[in-house]
Amino acid sequence: MNSSLKSFSRIVVKIGSASLVDQKTGIRHQWLRSLIQDVAELTRIGSDVIIVSSGSIALGRRMMTAKGITAATGNLSLEESQAAASIGQIALCSAYSQALADHGLTAAQILLTLGDTEERRRYLNARDTITTALKWGAVPIINENDSVATAEIRYGDNDRLAARVASMVGADLLVLLSDIDGLYSAPPHKDPNAKHMAVVPAITPEIEAMAGAAASEFSRGGMKTKIEAARIATAAGAAMIITSADQLNPLSALSSGKKATWFSPSPNPINERKRWIAGGLDVSGLYRIDAGALKALAGGKSLLAVGVVAVEGDFSRGDTVKIVGPDGRVVGTGLTEYDSADARKVMGLNSDQIAERMGANVRTELIHRDDMAVELP
């Protein structure tokens, strides 16, 4: 395994439909087993690995076609794609589950729709699900929930979905396993002088211009969505790799000099995210805090309920709220873990008192430090 891959602590691996599903034979089991062997090796050395896998529609089609359902070939209507996804997804996850079990690992299936990463409350919920599964040593297998997603509410491609997941869980690496071995200065099948880019330090307009829109029959993304994914992932502080899935053990193959394009993470990711939070326009309320909490925030800690003396406004979990210090000045902005009604119940309480009042499984933070931009004078 590449020593550089080993140095990452949380890795999201995106697998395209074309890599995983052969339209004649179904799942490429040997390839899948070799991928999972690499994943198991990474988890063994302590990395968290999250898989974002496409293939539900392609596999569902192939399974139905094999049964003589002619409607499953050619262009599918929306409900046919959704039905194909519902059939393919369960088979897909069963294959992952078995391959992981060979290494003593457990799969956790998570199906997301667009609102799960774009609406903050649902984003926090989805993030908690994924990180809890990771904490339990399971390997999340994520896909878009294609059996219910319709055009208006879908990501449409798993490249950007994988990037949103990477930024959601604070991954430090996103690997896109694709049918192409990286970014070229021009489409390589059209231009013999196209140059392979080994490293992309920043997503400039020139880099964007290199991405055509080409996509193969079963993958919705092309280089365009991969560059968009790179923008999302690198801004969130993750490196990103595009490499081809054309050989066994596609992750460990990177150590033997396998061709790939590496995108460098933004040098200032924390500030970017904090700027995004601090710039939130839709402020729904505020927490007034005491001097002890202010000191904790200055020291990089989360905002605990015990340090909150007043809750103002009417807000939901995930909404943007301001934090106001003892002298009445705004000292920060954050995404709240509690809605305003529950925040009022727990303010001023320590964790034991919160557990007594709200039950054992609730958070003691009103705002997690990752979701907070502190602006001390």
Contact between 196 and 187 (Cβ < 8 Å): no
CA–CA separation, 263 vs 239, rounded Å? 6
Q: Which one among 28, 49, 51, 55 touches ligand GLU, defined by CB under 6 A?
A: 55
Pairing assessment for the beta strands 199-200 and 139-144 based on DSSP bridges: unpaired
Beta-bridge mates of residue 242: 176, 261
| 43, 56, 117, 320: which one binds ligand GLU (CB under 6 A) | 56
Minimum CB–partner distance for residue 204 and ligand GLU (Å): 25
Which residue's structure tokens are 């995210």?
Answer: 273
Instruction: Using alpha carbons, list the distances in angstroms from residue 12 to 4, 137, 221.
Output: 15, 15, 17
| 80 scored as a contact of ligand GLU (CB under 6 A) | no
Number of residues located near ligand GLU, criterion CB under 6 A: 15
Spell out the alpha helix ranges (H) of the chain.
3-6, 17-20, 29-44, 56-66, 78-101, 115-118, 120-135, 158-168, 205-210, 223-235, 269-278, 291-298, 340-346, 351-358
Kindly tell me which of 143 and 234 has the beta carbon lying closer to ligand GLU.
143
User: Kind of pairing, strands 283-289 and 10-15?
Assistant: unpaired
Considering only 48-56, 118-126, 168-176, 235-243, which stretch makes contact with ligand GLU by CB under 6 A? 48-56
Q: Give the one residue of 10, 17, 50, 319 binding ligand GLU; rule: CB under 6 A.
A: 17
Q: Which residue in 34, 113, 143, 333 binds ligand GLU (CB under 6 A)?
A: 143
Nearer to ligand GLU, 52 or 354 (CB): 52
- From residue 263 to residue 302, the character string flagging contacts with ligand GLU as x (rule: CB under 6 A) and all else as - is ----------------------------------------
Q: CB 144 → ligand GLU: shortest distance, Å?
A: 4
Q: In the complex, what is the shortest distance from the CB of residue 336 to ligand GLU, in angstroms, rounded to a whole number?
A: 32
Closest approach of ligand GLU to the CB of residue 249, in Å: 22
Q: How far is the CB of 197 from ligand GLU (least distance, A)?
A: 22
Ordered DSSP codes for 180-223 = S-S-BSS-TTT-TT--B-SEESS--HHHHHH------TT-S--H
Give me the 193-232 binding string for ligand GLU, x by CB under 6 A, dash otherwise.
--------------------------xxx-----------
Kindly state whether residue 58 participates in binding ligand GLU, applying the rule CB under 6 A.
yes
Binding ligand GLU by CB under 6 A: which of 41, 144, 337, 342? 144
364 lines the binding site for ligand GLU (CB under 6 A) = no
x/- site string to ligand GLU, residues 156 to 195, per CB under 6 A? -xx-------------------------------------
A 10 A CB-CB count for 122 gives: 17
- The structure tokens listed for 225 are 């969505």
User: Which H or E run includes 13?
Assistant: strand 10-15
CB 290 → ligand GLU: shortest distance, Å?
Answer: 48
Residue 135, classed as helix, strand or coil, is: helix
- Closest approach of ligand GLU to the CB of residue 58, in Å: 6
**Rounded (10°) CA dihedral 172, 104, 51, 265:** 10
- Provide the token pair at 59: 């596999």
Residues of this chain that interact with ligand GLU (CB under 6 A) are 16-17, 54-58, 143-144, 146, 157-158, 219-221
